[in-house]
Amino acid sequence: AMASGALVGAAGLAGLYALSKLLPARAKKSNELDELEKANLDLFKSAIGTETVDTKNFIIAKAPGRVNLIGEHVDYNMGFVMPIAIDRATTIVGSKSSTVSEEADFIIAVPNFENPGGPPTVLKWKRADFFENSRPVQWHNYVRGVVALIQELKSIKIPNFHISILGNVPQGGGLSSSASLEVATATFIEKLCGIELGMVAKAELCQKVEHTWCDVPCGIMDQFASVFGKAGHALLIDCKSITHKAIPMTDPNFSILIVNSNTKHALVDGAYKKRKSACDSAADKLNVQSLREISAEELESKHKAAGLTPLELRRARHVVNEIERTEEASRALRCNDYELMGKLMIQSHESLRDLYEVSCEELDYLVKFALECKGVYGARMTGAGFGGSIVALVETKGMQAAINHIDSQYTKATGKSATFISSPPSEGASAKVVEMN
């Protein structure tokens, strides 16, 4: 069921996001299709065609990526995180298949990974193969895992379907293209089957897919942000109670700038698991359920007696202070105190660099060059680290000058080129039914 040359793991997501450079995000009325949705409909028509599907009930689902403003590497420590959903998304279009085919029950079309602009890649599965939790992990594990877990959770038989997938969330930039793919899939299946998972349950199911079908022991933040995103608001998410508060971010004088280093260091997956186990070990020794349960002061007074190793202490110091910083940052945003918000972002970066050791030279350069610009209040690496992106809080009127400075300095320092996205806080996942003509 594999197309030749489809890439292993998340790397294979790259093709789905091949259009990320071409598609400006524009707000539309909800019944109008945006450029990405239109491009995906064209992909469906050219790759699969409309003869084999129910064209009266054609579904368009989309789910956004996210950027985390502050609260990094604390979601799996049950702390607070504060992401926004961004105006880049994964779209899924398709419908129930209306014909019985000998060769395929499920069909998924995606853009051509190997040869962008070439003929789309079309994958076909019989039902038994589609629901098999196979290894090595490939990009379609994210899709098939969601479908399988919904089928199991709801005790229903999911009908055969044909879909195409297209996104403009940059892949490998730390903006959760994988969560947006999972949440878009879940949202598509809800419409296809006329069911509602419930928003929290949908985020949790997609997180479980990462754990069980993709071997990534992630926290809940990425899926939650993709489900619950709210235009004009950041989300302060409590990863222990799995609840959130929407924090207004509507001041037009300030913008969020995301700068992708276009670097991905190979150690990210192993390093992530190592960080998580150091935190779990520290929590065990401190006799708490998670590092969320202990304050910065308590950590300083108890770590010796608890026997934390120097490494565990560094990791725990980052986590407990980052949780406190994130709560403080939510208060700063509420009061429009951008100066304090910026300071907290800078402290977060220093902690991720020095205590948690998940930054890298490219991210440190981007933060340094961002902070050299007038009107940049704060900047930090965002996402898992070892590459990916930084996020900066920038005065809107200084945005272009900041981009120009960061762009030229980064290339001078590293020989690489950065890419820039400015996104307002955006809406979470949605789906609609249209009639195909």
Residues 189-229 pLDDT 10s:
999 999 999 999 999 999 999 999 999 888 999 999 999 99
219, 204 Cβ separation under 8 angstroms: no
Stretch (H or E) spanning 339? helix 338-354
Contact 210, 218 (CB under 8 A): yes
The answer for residues whose C-beta is within 8 angstroms of residue 292's C-beta and 6 or more apart is 74, 77, 78, 79, 239, 240, 323
pLDDT class of 23 with cuts at 50, 70, 90: very low
Q: What is the pLDDT of residue 5?
A: 27
Q: Any idea which residues carry the catalytic annotation?
A: 222
- Look at residue 109 and give its three-state secondary structure: strand
183: burial class by Cβ within 10 Å (0-12, 13-18, 19+)? buried
Please determine, for residue 97, whether its predicted confidence score (pLDDT) is greater than 80: yes
Exposed / middle / buried, residue 90 (Cβ in 10 Å: 0-12, 13-18, 19+): buried
The CA distance from 348 to 323, in Å, is 10
The average pLDDT across 52-74 equals 96
Is residue 419's pLDDT more than 70? Answer: yes
* Model confidence pLDDT, tens digit, residues 106-161: 999 999 988 888 999 999 999 999 999 999 999 999 999 999 999 999 999 999 99
**Distance between CA 186 and CA 208 in Å, rounded?**
12
Q: Distance between CA 394 and CA 390 in Å, rounded?
A: 12
Cis before 136? omega within 30: yes
Per-residue pLDDT tens for 307-364? 999 999 999 999 999 999 999 999 999 999 999 999 999 999 999 999 999 999 999 9
Q: Is the pLDDT of residue 11 over 50?
A: no
pLDDT above 90 for 237 = yes
What is residue 130's three-state secondary structure? helix
Mean pLDDT of 245-252: 96
Does the pLDDT of residue 252 top 90, yes or no?
yes
Predicted local distance difference test score (pLDDT) of residue 114: 85
